Structure 1
Amino acid sequence: MCRLQSGGVPRNDACLELLRPFEVTNDGCRISLSLGAQRLLAFLALQEDGAHRAAAAEQLWPDCIPSRAAANLRSALCQGRRLGSVTAIETVGPRLALSRHVRVDLHRVWESAHQVTEGVRPLPIDWTSLVSDLSRELLPGWYEDWLTVERERWGQMRVYALESLAQQFQAADQYLPALQAALAAMAVDPIRETAHRIVIEVHLAEGNVANALKRYRDYRAFLRRELNVAPSPQMTQLIRDLSPTQL
């Protein structure tokens, strides 16, 4: 359903979901769109400054000749320009842009992630919702070439945000949310060491030495199997004094 304004007043906006199976609603009602219109809306939602028509057509229909791609774009634009009572796509000359009246879940979560990484957002009481949002993939099930870079950008942002969130909770001695955020970061990027190190630090802070040692050994075995490398000296030093003969 669409978000509410502060004070609980419904917005007359359309809502576009990109962090779960694609969905667009207006006034709480789901709107059915052609695949072309879905792709155009999703593409424009990821272009901060909009896109030129020719560039959009080339990106969305790369296997078509220019005239066919342009025709596909016109058809998608015709079907996706309005979502219920809302104008969803604005046109200025040859440029297309998503209307400010379309609320995009990715934009909301991205802003929260940015605030977390900058340290300007207080620790959320409802931390489970934020961790869940940051754990979501961008347009799951879509296999579009133009999504590759956008998925990488989103992946980097959510890993950094989850790690920052875990570190902030750890510093506040709130160990459960620290663990959950770090584990979510590990699921996004299993190779990256930072989240594994946070989990070890939290286990040690709680006095769970065996859990800390097991996490280190599991990560070390994973790195050897996948990349034939070892954890960093910084990570190894965390538990060297605990069991120096068993590392």
Structure 2
Amino acid sequence: MRLELLKPFECTNAGSRITLPLGAQRLLAFLALQPVGAHRAAAAEQLWPDCTPFRAAANLRSALCQGRRVGCHTVIDSDGPRLLLASSLHVDLREVWESARQVVEGQRPLPAEWECLIGKLGRELLPGWSEDWLLMERERWNQMRVYALEELAQHYQAAEQYLPALQAALAAITVDPIRETPHRMVIEVHLAEGNIASALQRYRGYRAFLKRELNVEPSPQMAQLVRNLTPT
């Protein structure tokens, strides 16, 4: 059994897609983001914030009835009032999060795995969902993947492996276009390869973006990278 959250919601059993009602989807996704599970009352309140406590509890019971078992598999366990995902249900977010954590702590993917990992770190959490309870979870995921992508970019740049360095930095920019660090890494990679025009284009594009969005300039550290190339 597998739950995919780093793309439109999907639950599969041995590769076959399982159709679930929306309430069951939301409950499974919510529990997938709670490593130690969640109290029934808290889950009901978070998932149905606009309902009365009575109505929210009824919605939770309905979602549990629809989603507790998928086929012959139990995918939601209970420990008294606490609900949690069964260990047999694998979640893509948890797997990629663990890989990201290892990268941030200094471990590096095998050469054959870097492209796949960069691609997974570039994925948004439950795209198209607008639930309030997802806002903080998306922020946590975005911070983790940006830091992991920057670590990968820095590692590959130092190893003079410029393609994965560039792809990791560009993926980080997609997650957080305002953050300066990955833009600076892209410039450094271009300069290391001797692509001065590309470095200047990136700098000027980022400078114009900051001016337009925030009316600020890039940091002196970033400006220093291109200071001696041509008047800016």
Q: Which TM bucket (shorter chain)? A: over 0.9
Match of 1:57 in 2: 44
1:187 alignment partner, SS class: helix
CA distance in 2, matches of 1:219, 1:22: 34
Match of 1:230 in 2: 217
Q: CA deviation at 1:120?
A: 1.7
CA distance in 2, matches of 1:122, 1:132: 13
1:91 alignment partner, SS class: strand
**Alignment check: 8 A CA contact 1:220 1:231 kept:** yes
CA distance in 1, matches of 2:108, 2:200: 33
Q: CA deviation at 1:187?
A: 0.8
Q: CA deviation at 1:29?
A: 1.8
Task: Compute the TM-score of the two structures, normalised by the length of structure 1.
Answer: 0.92
* Percent of residue pairs bearing the same amino acid type: 73
Q: 1:127 to 1:50 in 2, by over 3 A?
A: same
Determine whether 1:166 maps to 2:148: no
Match of 2:196 in 1: 209
Amino acid across the alignment from 2:220? P
Cα deviation digits, residues 186-215 of structure 1 (max 9, x gap): 111110000000001001100111111111
Match of 1:66 in 2: 53
Q: CA deviation at 1:123?
A: 4.5
Amino acid across the alignment from 1:164? E
**Which of 75, 78, 82 is the equivalent residue of 2:62?**
75
Cα deviation digits, residues 119-152 of structure 1 (max 9, x gap): 1234542322111111110001111000000000
What does 1:1-247 align with in structure 2 at a 5 Å threshold?
14-243=1-230, 246-247=231-232
Alpha carbon RMSD of aligned pairs, Å?
0.9
CA distance in 2, matches of 1:122, 1:54: 40
Residue segments in structure 2 that go unaligned for 5+ positions in a row: none
Task: Compute the TM-score of the two structures, normalised by the length of structure 2.
Answer: 0.98
- The size of the alignment, in residue pairs, is 232
CA distance in 2, matches of 1:69, 1:124: 48
